[in-house]
Amino acid sequence: MNNRAQATTELAVFGSLILICLAVLVSYGQSLQEQQILQQQAFRKALKKAYDENAFASYNIIKNPRTANLFGGYGEGSRGGASSGASVAWCLGDPAEKNYYEINEDEIEVPTGTKIIDVETQASTTYTARETKFEDPTAATTTKQARLTDTLTTTLKADGGSDITITQGLGADGRYRQSTVGQEVSKDKEWVTPH
């Protein structure tokens, strides 16, 4: 009997450790994939801008993807961060210099002569969750509700010029953009288990 109790305890402890290791691997894999995608996107977009505008184009992408959070509440997720940039010259004669920033879903052209020296991001998140359980003679019903409002303010710090600030909200599609500031994302789920 003591051997079974010890084996059950060991299984519970080591099973928990294995699940934590799996969660870390999944999170790392998601961030690595996002970084590789951004590198390719930045190069392609810089190439297109340089070709279309006969310019030396610099294109920087900053994304805050939301990923699954195994340790968070229902529908909470977690906000990550990834960025990449590329510069391409495709021109005839003297090229114009163009500098672009794509912050999540919004593109900004930096005014000519403005040098961006730093990028700062501030976030404000409100999350509430509720779980209710109801049981009657025919079934047990569990309902989960989650409400999330997430706002990001990104400031492009300029050297000797005026800073560029953009405020974005989280939309129902899980992406940040200016048009969704203050929007609440809600998730509702109901499970019914008949007796």
Would you list the domain boundaries of the chain? 2-194
User: Looking at 56-70, 148-162, 164-178, which range is the least confident one?
Assistant: 56-70
Residue 164 has pLDDT above 90, yes or no: yes
Six-digit token string for 25:
């691997």
pLDDT of residue 92: 84
The mean per-residue pLDDT over the stretch 2-24 comes to: 84
Q: What is the torsion angle, in degrees rounded to the nearest 10, for the CA atoms of residue 29, residue 119, residue 56 and residue 98?
A: 130
pLDDT of residue 1: 66
70, pLDDT greater than 90: no
- Give me the mean pLDDT over the 133-158 stretch: 93
Q: What is the rounded average pLDDT of the residues 108-134? A: 92
For range 144-164, the mean pLDDT: 92
In angstroms, the CA 87 to CA 99 distance is 9
pLDDT (0 to 100) of residue 75: 80
Q: Distance between CA 88 and CA 111 in Å, rounded?
A: 18
How far apart, in whole angstroms, are the C-alpha atoms of residue 10 and residue 8? 5
pLDDT (mean) for 118-135: 93
